[in-house]
Amino acid sequence: MSTPALPGSSDVFADPARDARDAPLPEESVGLWGFLTTIDHKRIGLRFIVTAFGFFVLAGILALLMRLQLAVPENGLIGPDRYNQIFTTHGTTMMFIFAVPIMAALGVYLVPLMLGTRNIAFPRMIAYAYWLYLFGGLMLYTAFVLDVGPDAGWFSYVPLAGPQYGVGKRSDFWAQLITFTEVSGLLVTVSIITTVFKLRAPGMTIERIPLFVWAQLVTMFMTMFAMPAVMVASTALILDRLVGTHFFNYAEGGDALLWQHLFWFFGHPEVYMIFVPGLGVVSAIVPVFARRPQFGYPAMVVSLIATAFLSFGLWVHHMFATALPDVGKVLFTAASMAIAIPTAVQLFCWTVTLWTGKTVLRTPLWFVLGFFFILVLGGLTGIMVSSVPLDLQLHDTYFVVAHLHYVLIGGAVFPLFAGFHYWFPKVTGRMMDEQLGRWTFWLMFIGFNVAFFPMHILGLEGMPRRVYTYSAAMGWGALNMTATVGAIVLGFGILLFAVNVARSLRYGALAGANPWQADTLEWWYSSPPAFGNTHRIPVITSRTPLWTPGGIAGEVRGLSRSPPETLVTSGLEAHPDHRVAMPTPTIWPLISAIATTVLFIGSIFTPWAVVWGSIPVAIALTIWFWPTRAEARRHRALEKSP
């Protein structure tokens, strides 16, 4: 690679000290049993990422089906009922089982590495969260294949999704999918927050935390306070449908708008739960390819936190078309415009970093530049629809479809693909092909804009979203055909990415520990990092430890390798506090997840499943918790009372 090296940057290839440091800790789980019982954050994180990418591909195929149906007017390819299931499953997948989980999964994989610890906090809980998530996603697609997929849109408005109009079990599957993914997502928040506050390498004070980790931390706090809203809402929905409560029944004192408030109190922060980790990815990549430290670190951190707070004050802008008081709407307009400020601050900081650095253009940076372009366009249409009169005109049209895809694909998918290309060598030990990477970028970038830009115009011309066809007399045919062609090009871009991954896994150049000569700790380990990440937890003295001479100033000695221990440090200053034995591999998170799945799916059909279904869950969780004598003996041998 021709990247100019920075003084102090370390290429620590073929170093005997490194080999000793990076050998796997004993007691890694191997084979099929190991696959089912592992508690390694990297294996679970990678599994999360691969699964979420699989759901992304499935939902992408559904999107292509919709585009084929809409390519020409009065098309008969897909009927209206199937079409409803397709757009609902597409949106539900992309929001709930692709975007939010894959962003958290990046954190599960990368946060412990960036912080210099051996594993994530509560790794068994992360394993349980993964299995629940997988089973929830499989349930959704099983329902879809059996023609009982949800059909009321990804935000499942009542009364359409309520007992009166939502026929059969379709909306119940939607509501329980929410329960699966939210339980899973909330457990991940607890784990990552604890990891960030308690498991940082000594010396990694709060102002030395990488921006990627800050973005993850902020996201996890947002998730923690936003996700319960959708759990409460979906529980109330399924209760209305299953046992006859009246939360959303106007005739008995309930209110359909209550659903919208609860859903969007979650749903708006959700956009930022997807977008903020993407900002973290960009902040990890920009300095490395600008070959200089990030400009304006404190402003970046404050902007992330400000975004999180403001994101809780926007939800009513999804409800401008309802009969809420105008004064209230004005406040939400103001907040919706204000949130552009912290994002703009970050854009300026990245621009300065790139402008003043010795920028090297590689595939990850191409995707970041694509992110800048698309996100700015999505942000501008966002400012347009934050104005109540314009929103009333554009509500439920293709303009909103264009806006939300510019924001979400620009704000999350492009950073995500930047991240895939950037961290692929760390995860697999091999480089991705640069040439194919650039082709992927340009196909995706051009395909995306050709697919979604015409939708702005279609929306202005009045084409409503969620229609399965339209009359030729409306004159929307040409733009729809253009959008379909763009979607196919975008699909080819993603296909090319998959080809590049498959080729690079086998033939890619060996990467070494730090192929990009990057600054953060994840590039300090071998690629891929071994079980337990490192034998020698580093002592940090710098925000860019691999770029600063003496940035890694020492190591932690005296931690047991078998049973493996890790170091807990203090929350702000990261002073060494105590040792803690790492949890051992176990099958019980999987069994508990199966028991929980029986409870959740059973409760779609009978409320009593909550009662009898909780018995196996309680038994499984108890065995999971209960220590073995051998384990306790080993811990006691290393025990030292505080």
Partner 1 sequence: MSEVVLDPGSRDVDARALPSYAFGTSSLMWWGTVGVAAIEGTAFALAIIMYFYVRTRVQTWPPSADPPELIWGTVNTLILLASLIPNQLAKKAGERQDLRGVRIWLCVCLLFAIAFIVVRGFEYTALNVKWDTNAYGSAVWFLLSLHTTHLVTDTFDSAVLAALFFTGPLEGKRYADVSENALYWYFVVGAWLPIYVVLYWAPRWM
> Of residues 207-266, which lie at the interface with partner 1 (CB under 8 A)?
224-225, 227-229, 231-232, 235-236, 239-240, 243-247, 249, 252-255, 258, 261-262, 265
User: Based on CB atoms, which residue is closest to partner 1, 200 or 403?
Assistant: 200
Instruction: Work out how close the CB of 584 gets to partner 1 at its nearest, in angstroms, rounded to a whole number.
Output: 14
Instruction: Work out how close the CB of 137 gets to partner 1 at its nearest, in angstroms, rounded to a whole number.
Output: 22
Instruction: Work out how close the CB of 595 gets to partner 1 at its nearest, in angstroms, rounded to a whole number.
Output: 14
Interface with partner 1 includes 606 (CB under 8 A)? no
User: Based on CB atoms, which residue is closest to partner 1, 185 or 278?
Assistant: 185
Residues contacting 438, CB < 8 A, separation 6+: 363, 366
User: Based on CB atoms, which residue is closest to partner 1, 86 or 158?
Assistant: 158
The three-state (H, E, C) secondary structure of 178-210, written as one string:
HHHHHHHHHHHHHHHHHHHHHCCCCCCCHHHCC
Which tokens go with 40?
């390694």
CB-CB neighbours of 45 under 10 Å = 25
* Of the candidate residues 55, 399, 565, 601, the single one contacting partner 1 (CB under 8 A): 565
User: Based on CB atoms, which residue is closest to partner 1, 265 or 367?
Assistant: 265
On the question of a cis peptide bond just before residue 342, with omega within 30 degrees of 0, the verdict is no
* Of the candidate residues 36, 57, 190, 446, the single one contacting partner 1 (CB under 8 A): 190
- 15 to 44, contacts with partner 1 by CB under 8 A? 15, 17-18
Interface with partner 1 includes 75 (CB under 8 A)? no
Q: How far apart are CA 66 and CA 484, in angstroms?
A: 9
Query: Residues, the chain, total?
Result: 642
Instruction: Work out how close the CB of 342 gets to partner 1 at its nearest, in angstroms, rounded to a whole number.
Output: 23
Do residues 97 and 136 touch, judged by C-beta distance below 8 A?
yes
- 114 to 153, contacts with partner 1 by CB under 8 A? 121-122
Q: Which H helix or E strand runs over 274?
A: helix 256-290
* Of the candidate residues 161, 567, 591, 595, the single one contacting partner 1 (CB under 8 A): 567
Interface with partner 1 includes 555 (CB under 8 A)? yes
* Of the candidate residues 578, 605, 606, 608, the single one contacting partner 1 (CB under 8 A): 578
* Of the candidate residues 19, 74, 573, 639, the single one contacting partner 1 (CB under 8 A): 639
Instruction: Work out how close the CB of 270 gets to partner 1 at its nearest, in angstroms, rounded to a whole number.
Output: 15
The three-state (H, E, C) secondary structure of 357-397, written as one string:
CCCCCCHHHHHHHHHHHHHHHHHHHHHHHCCHHHHHHHCCE
Which tokens go with 408?
């979400």
Interface with partner 1 includes 376 (CB under 8 A)? no
Q: How far apart are CA 120 and CA 569, in angstroms?
A: 14
Helix (H, G, I), strand (E, B) or coil at 567: strand
Instruction: Work out how close the CB of 79 gets to partner 1 at its nearest, in angstroms, rounded to a whole number.
Output: 36
Interface with partner 1 includes 458 (CB under 8 A)? no
Q: How far apart are CA 344 and CA 449, in angstroms?
A: 22
* Of the candidate residues 32, 76, 298, 641, the single one contacting partner 1 (CB under 8 A): 641
- 191 to 210, contacts with partner 1 by CB under 8 A? 193-194, 197-198, 202-203
List the one residue out of 241, 243, 231, 106 whose CA is nearest residue 177. 231
Interface with partner 1 includes 3 (CB under 8 A)? no
DSSP state of 25: P
User: Based on CB atoms, which residue is closest to partner 1, 503 or 536?
Assistant: 536
Helical spans, DSSP H, in 429-551: 434-460, 477-507
* Of the candidate residues 376, 509, 553, 587, the single one contacting partner 1 (CB under 8 A): 553
User: Based on CB atoms, which residue is closest to partner 1, 494 or 567?
Assistant: 567
Interface with partner 1 includes 627 (CB under 8 A)? yes
Interface with partner 1 includes 9 (CB under 8 A)? yes
* Of the candidate residues 325, 478, 562, 625, the single one contacting partner 1 (CB under 8 A): 625
List the one residue out of 272, 169, 186, 294 whose CA is nearest residue 230. 186
Instruction: Work out how close the CB of 550 gets to partner 1 at its nearest, in angstroms, rounded to a whole number.
Output: 7
User: Based on CB atoms, which residue is closest to partner 1, 449 or 541?
Assistant: 541
Q: How far apart are CA 138 and CA 18, in angstroms?
A: 42
User: Based on CB atoms, which residue is closest to partner 1, 473 or 637?
Assistant: 637
Q: Hey, CA dihedral for 527, 532, 537, 542, is it positive or negative?
A: positive
Query: Applying CB under 8 A, what is the total number of residues that bind partner 1?
Result: 88
Sole residue written with tokens 């926007």: 314
Instruction: Work out how close the CB of 581 gets to partner 1 at its nearest, in angstroms, rounded to a whole number.
Output: 7
Q: Hey, CA dihedral for 457, 461, 467, 468, is it positive or negative?
A: negative
Interface with partner 1 includes 628 (CB under 8 A)? yes
Q: How far apart are CA 608 and CA 592, in angstroms?
A: 19
Instruction: Work out how close the CB of 425 gets to partner 1 at its nearest, in angstroms, rounded to a whole number.
Output: 17
Helical spans, DSSP H, in 461-545: 477-507
User: Based on CB atoms, which residue is closest to partner 1, 342 or 583?
Assistant: 583
Helical spans, DSSP H, in 93-156: 100-115, 123-145
Instruction: Work out how close the CB of 618 gets to partner 1 at its nearest, in angstroms, rounded to a whole number.
Output: 6
User: Based on CB atoms, which residue is closest to partner 1, 239 or 376?
Assistant: 239
Looking at residue 603, its amino acid is S
Q: How far apart are CA 512 and CA 211, in angstroms?
A: 24
Do residues 267 and 223 touch, judged by C-beta distance below 8 A?
no
